[in-house]
Structure 1
Amino acid sequence: MIVVVTVSANYWVWRKTHASITLESEQCAHEPVGLVFGTSYGLRGGGENPWYRARLDLAASLWKSGQVDHLLISGDNHTRYYNEPVRMWRDLRQAQIPDAAMTLDYAGFSTFDTLARSRDVFGVSRVTLISQRWHLPRALFIAQYLGLEARGCATRGRTMFDDRWMWAREILARVQVIADLYILDRHPYFLGPSIVLPTSAQGPGHIIPVYQRVAMPDPVEQALGNLRIRLDAPSAPQPKTPWRVIR
C-alpha cells in the first residue's frame, strides 16, 4: 500500500507539472515576477551550497535578459542569526541586480509558505519559479493548487546522479504535499500585512520595469524636463539659452 500510494502521488505531481517546466533558461517565457526559493548558503560539511549559487545565477540571468521584470526573494529568517533573503539579496547586488528590482520575503519557511505568501501578501498572480529540476514539480503543484499562473525555470549544471539524494527526498516530499493540501488543509505559518510590488495600472501582476522606477540624477532629470518643454513649445523663434556647466 505504501508503494502504491508513493508511486501514485509522484505520478500525479509529475503529470500535472512536467509540461510547465523549462530546462533551458534561454527558452523560459517572460513573466512579471521571478520567485527565488531560499536555501542555505553553506553545506553542513563546509563549502558553498551549489543549489544556492545555481538559483541566484539563474535569477540574475533571467532579470538581465528581460525574462522577468522583478525578483521576489523568499527564504527563512526564523532567528536574527539566520537570514536567507538578506544573504541572497547581498549576492544578487554583487551580480549587479539593482535594489529596485528585488523584493524580500522574510517568512518563506517552506515551499508552501513561499507560494502562499506570494499570492496573499505580495499579490502575485503570474510567476516564474526559479529552482532545481527536482524541486520544481512539487513547487508547481502547490502553485497550481493555489491558483497561480506559474511556470518553472530549472537551473543547470548538475546531473541527476549528483543530486540523487535530493531526488530521493522529493519522492517522499510529493506524498507529503498531497496530504498537506487535500487532507490536512495546510495554511501558511505567517501571513501579515499586504506588501505591494511595484505594479502599474496596465493589468494585474504587471510589473513596472526597473528603468522606470529608478530615480535619475537631478541634472539628467532637469535636462529631460527642459527638452520636453522645448518640444512642446510653439515653432516661433525662441531666445537661445546659453550652455551651463553642471558640476
Structure 2
Amino acid sequence: MKPIAQLCFLKAWALFKLIIPWGLVLSLLALLGVVCLNVWLIVVTQTDWQTDPKQCQASAVGVIFGTSKFLRGGSDNLHYKYRLQLAATLWHQGRIKHLLVSGDNHTRYYNEPITMWKDLQTLGIPRHAMTLDYAGFSTFDTLARAREVFQLERMLLVTQAYHLPRALFIARQLGLDAQGCAAQDPPRAQWWPVMLREIAARTAMFGDLYLWSRQPYFLGEPVPITISEDESSLEIKSSENIPPESRQKNSP
C-alpha cells in the first residue's frame, strides 16, 4: 500500500472507531426513549379500559376501529373477527346503543366500513344501530372525525388491548371522554408483527400530537349522531362525509 493511501486508510479507520461507540450510545438512548414512552403510555391509560365486556363502561355510542377482514395470505384476520364479536356482544348486552363503524375506504375496491357493516348485521346488529365512517384512515382520523364530524363527546372504544393505550391517549388529547373495551387477542403468530408496528405508531403519535399538529385527511360537514328513545328511527347518515375519490355506489 502506498504511503498516502495507507495514511488515508489509517485516518478513516480511526474515525470509524471513534464514531461507532457514539453511534451505539445514541442507538441505545433512542431505544430506551421508545421503551420509556411505551411504558408511560400504558401506565397512564391502564385504568381507562377493561377486558371483560360486563365490566366495560356503558356508553350510548361505541367506536369500532377498522381493519382488513383477511390477511395477505388469504386467511382470516382474527383482529377483525374478535373486534366484531365484541362489538356485537356489547350491543346485545345493552352496553352500547349505537356503533360508529370507522375504517379505510381509500379506493372503490377496498371498503372496511361496508365489510364490517355487513358482517355486524349477521351478528344481529340492525342497520339503524350503525353509522359508517368511510374516512377512518388511521386511529387519529377516526377519533378526530368522531369529534368534529359525528359530534361525539363520550364513547366506548372497541379494539384489541395493545391498541387501546394509543387510542385512549389520542382521544384524551382531543378532549374526548373515552373508555376502552378490549377485544380478544389473536395467537402470537398474528399478534407479534402488529405489536411491533404498534410500538412504532405509539412513538410517532407524540410527534403527531405535539410537533407537527397533525390534521385529519378528510373531514366534511358535521353529521351528528343522535340517540333517540326509539333507536329504530336512526338512519345511517354518513354518505355526505365520504372523500370524493372514495364514494361507493353500494353505500347504504
TM-score band by shorter chain is: 0.7 to 0.9
1:104 aligned counterpart, secondary structure = strand
Following TM superposition, by how much is the alpha carbon of 1:5 offset from its aligned partner in structure 2, in angstroms? 1.8
2:47 maps to 1:19: yes
Whether 1:81 and 2:109 are equivalent positions in the alignment is yes
Distance 1:209 1:154, change over 3 A: farther
For residues 186-231 of structure 1, the C-alpha deviation after alignment (integer angstroms, 9 at most, x for no partner) is 110010011121x2xxxxxxx225546379xxxxxxxxxxxxxxxx
* Identity among equivalent pairs (%): 49
How far did 1:175 drift?
0.5
Aligned mate of 1:168, from 184, 187, 196: 196
Name whichever structure is richer in helix by fraction: 2
Q: Does 1:112 align with 2:112?
A: no
Paired residues of 1:134 and 1:166 also in contact (CA < 8 A): no
Give TM-score, length-normalised by structure 2: 0.78
- 1:208 maps onto 2:208 in alignment: no
SS of corresponding position for 1:107: coil
Query: How many residues are aligned here?
Result: 207
Q: 2:128–2:231: 8 Å Cα contact kept in structure 1?
A: no
1:49 aligns with 2:69: no
Structure 1 runs of 4+ aligned residues shifted over 3 Å read 157-162, 209-212
Aligned-partner residue type, residue 18 of structure 1: Q
Gapped runs of 5+ residues in structure 1? 200-206, 216-247
Q: Deviations over 1:71-120 (max 9, x none)?
A: 00000011111110000000111112111100000000000000000000
Alpha-carbon distance in 2 for matches of 1:80, 1:86: 11
| 2:62 match: secondary structure | strand
Does the 8 Å contact 2:149/2:221 carry over to 1?
yes
Taking structure 1 as the reference length, what is the TM-score of the superposition? 0.79
Secondary structure of residue in 1 paired with 2:38: helix
> Comparing 162-171 with 177-186, which one deviates more in the overlay?
162-171
* Matched-pair contact (CA < 8 Å) for 2:228–2:234: no
Q: What is the Cα deviation at residue 166 of structure 1?
A: 2.0
> Could you say which residue in structure 1 is the equivalent of 2:208?
180
Q: Tell me, what secondary structure is at the counterpart of 1:58?
A: helix
C-alpha change, 1:158 and 1:43, in structure 2 (3 Å) is closer
